[in-house]
Amino acid sequence: MSVAARHSLPGRVARGYVRRVDAVNRRLGRIAMYLIFVLIGILLWSSFSKTFLLPSLWTLETAQFTMVAYYILGGPYSLQQGANVRMDLFYGSWTPRTKAWVDAFTVFFLLFYLVILFLGGVESTAYSLGYFGMEPFAFFRDLLVTLVTEGVGAAAEMFGHMERSPTAWRPYLWPIKTVLMIGIVMMILQALAELVRDLFRIRGEEI
């Protein structure tokens, strides 16, 4: 491959995209990994309070929310590091180029799944904020425009009856659903970065 082709504008853009997404997800993943200690603390307090004090209403759901955040925010970093589960019976013996071909093909299945999750997540998050219509993307567009042009107060007026958990503690669900959406978006971006990386490997280059 010629030097000119290697340093073409599309190539530089692709490399820049991969490096930036990698950097963001690396930082996000390394922050998310400390949530395991938060989870341990919550479970320890839950055991202590049930043994010596009155049981706390918030511990079970808070532990669940923390585990969800740990999993979904750490997922893109796990994908970036190649720590996701694979069937290595055949994969482990393949050449790097063959692996790149297979990964470049199978990543489309992952992207399809993530896009479906994203579409459902947008609708579910809008519902948690009190929007019960059929156009959640329009709701978030109007919410963003209102937030930028009129401020937080005006944007807050767009919220309806917010969804709450049906448990005794009854926490609002929009915070954890927002975390889920962030994780899904970053996972989509990382999956696209892996696709670009594989395409470069097929051409005999590394990013």
pLDDT at 6: 56
pLDDT at 1: 47
> How far apart are alpha carbons 108 and 195 in whole angstroms?
9
pLDDT at 126: 95
pLDDT at 3: 52
85, 200 contact by CB (below 8 A): no
Q: What is the pTM of this model?
A: 0.88
145, 154 contact by CB (below 8 A): no
pLDDT at 95: 87
- φ, ψ (nearest 5 deg) of residue 42: -65, -45
pLDDT at 2: 47
> How far apart are alpha carbons 4 and 176 in whole angstroms?
47
Residue 179: closest CA among 87, 75, 88: 75
Residue extents of the structural domains in the chain? 3-202
Task: Map residue 85 onto helix, strand or coil.
Answer: coil
Q: One digit per residue, pLDDT tens: the chain, 207 residues?
A: 445 545 687 888 999 999 999 999 999 999 999 999 999 999 999 999 988 888 888 999 999 999 999 999 999 999 998 877 666 777 778 888 998 999 999 999 999 999 999 999 999 999 999 999 999 999 999 999 999 999 999 988 999 899 999 988 999 999 999 999 999 999 999 999 999 999 999 988 887
- Other Cβ atoms less than 10 A from the Cβ of 26: the count is 14
**Which residues make Cβ contacts (< 8 Å) with residue 36, sequence separation at least 6?**
70
Residue 64: closest CA among 149, 175, 199, 187: 175
> How far apart are alpha carbons 171 and 169 in whole angstroms?
6
